[in-house]
Amino acid sequence: MADVTSLHQQKPPTAKKPAAAARAGQAGAPQTDGTDNPSHTHVTMEQALDKSLKAAQARLTGGLSPIALMATYSDWALHLASAPGKQLELLEKAGRKAWKLANYATFCATHPETSRTCIEPLPQDRRFRGEAWQKWPFNVMSQAFLLNQQWWHNATTGVEGVTKQHENVATFAARQVLDVFSPSNFALTNPEVLAKTVAEGGWNLMRGAQNFVEDVTRLNTGQQPVGAEAFKVGENLATAPGKVIYRNRLIELIQYAPTTDKVRPEPILIVPAWIMKYYILDLSEHNSLVRYLTDQGFTVFMVSWKNPDTDDRDLGMNDYLSLGVMDALDAVSTVTKGQKVHALGYCLGGTLLSIAAASMARDGDERLQSMTLLAAQVDFTEAGELTLFINESQLTYLEDLMWDQGYLDTKQMAGAFQLLRSNDLIWSRVIHDYLMGERSEMIDLMAWNADATRMPYRMHSEYLRKLFLKNDLAEGRYLVEGRPVVISDIRAPVFMVGTERDHVAPWHSVYKFNLLSDTDVTFVLTSGGHNAGIVSEPGHPRRHYRIQSRTKDAPYTDPDTWLAETETTEGSWWPALVGWLAQRSGDPVKPPSLGAKAKGYAPLCDAPGTYVFQE
State the Cα–Cα distance between residues 252 and 306, nearest whole angstrom.
Answer: 8
For strands 242-247 and 544-550, give the pairing.
Answer: unpaired
Q: Are 420 and 91 in contact (CB under 8 A)?
A: no
Q: How many Å apart are CA 164 and CA 445, to the nearest integer?
A: 35
- DSSP character string of 405-440: HSEE-HHHHHHHHHHHTHIIIIIHHIIIIIIS---P
Q: Helix, strand or coil for residue 398?
A: helix
Nearest to 283 by CA among 231, 324, 247: 231
Candidates 299, 397, 479; CA nearest to 69 is 397
CA 527/CA 534 separation, integer angstroms:
9
Q: Distance between alpha carbon 522 and the CA centroid of its chain, in Å?
A: 22
Positions annotated as catalytic residues are 347
Cis, bond preceding 12 (omega within 30 deg of 0): no
Which residue in 430, 44, 519, 368 sits closest to 212, CA to CA?
430
**Spatial CA neighbour of 290 closest among 270, 308, 304:** 270
Nearest to 269 by CA among 186, 367, 198: 367
H helices present in 320-366, as ranges? 327-335, 348-362
3-state class (DSSP) for residue 106:
helix
Give the integer Cα–Cα distance in Å for 339 and 331. Answer: 11
At residue 98, what are phi and psi to the nearest 5 degrees?
-65, -40
Cis-peptide into 258, omega within 30 deg: no
Buried b (16+ CB within 10 A) or exposed e, 117-147: ebbebeeeeebbeeeebbbbebbbbbbbbbb
Query: Sign of the CA dihedral 441, 445, 446, 448?
Result: positive
